[in-house]
Chain A
């Protein structure tokens, strides 16, 4: 298995532009998580899905952020409009709920820089 796949790996954009981050979870995993990591705040959970349904989006910072999971093999995190304070590494992770402990497998992350 290729593991969790994220694209792009790096994104540099200007303030005000729309940014779309993509994630392909491990096949068969029924949970998908989006995290954001910054030096100041560490690793924060933004939103997670179970069987493609958003379960908890309380970590989404504001309305500029949205996430979708149209099918079991694809999810997007969109920021519109982007701001410099959104600069961070965004990780996607997936897990199989039946596994005890819900061990999460992380993708390589997308490093976003908003100028």
Chain B
């Protein structure tokens, strides 16, 4: 059965801290790994990763994929209160996205 597992389930940090969110997957016909940020509404797209070892970066967020070990990480440096959200990763096979349960990040001032 296809599955995506995220860790930790939740994380509480102070502003300025750096966090690393983990995502492992076992998905047949894997094509790519996607990261979403979800506040109190629909998930919004952050990154899509298709190749191993190539870091994608957007401001303070970065992500990388390891297709050999079947995992991805999402890093957030110098966290801000606005980063508080649930971060979802999803593995895309030939047809659909399979989501993990998410990591809830809370950033306090």
Contact = CB atoms under 8 A, between A and B. Distances in A.
Interface of A: 31, 33, 35, 41-45, 48, 50, 55-56, 91, 93, 100-109
B45 A55 contact: no
B95 to A, nearest CB: 6
A94 to B, nearest CB: 12
Given A43-B88, A43-B99, A101-B92, A108 B41 contact: yes
B32 A101 contact: yes
A107 B99 contact: no
Contact of A42 (B45, B92, B101): B101
A33 B50 contact: no
Contact of B42 (A41, A91, A100): A91
B78 to A, nearest CB: 27
Interface of B: 31-32, 34, 41-45, 48, 50, 88, 92, 95-102
Contacts of B102: 42-43
B97 A33 contact: yes
Contacts of A101: 31-32, 34, 48, 50, 92
List 6 A-B pairs, minimum CB-CB distance, nearest first: A101-B32, A42-B101, A106-B42, A43-B99, A101-B48, A102-B92
The listed residue with most B CB atoms (<10 A of its CB), out of A31, A55, A102, is: A102
Contact of B95 (A44, A48, A105, A106): A48
A50 B95 contact: yes
A42 B100 contact: yes
A65 B15 CA distance: 44
B41 A100 contact: no
A25 to B, nearest CB: 14
Contact of B97 (A45, A100, A107, A109): A45
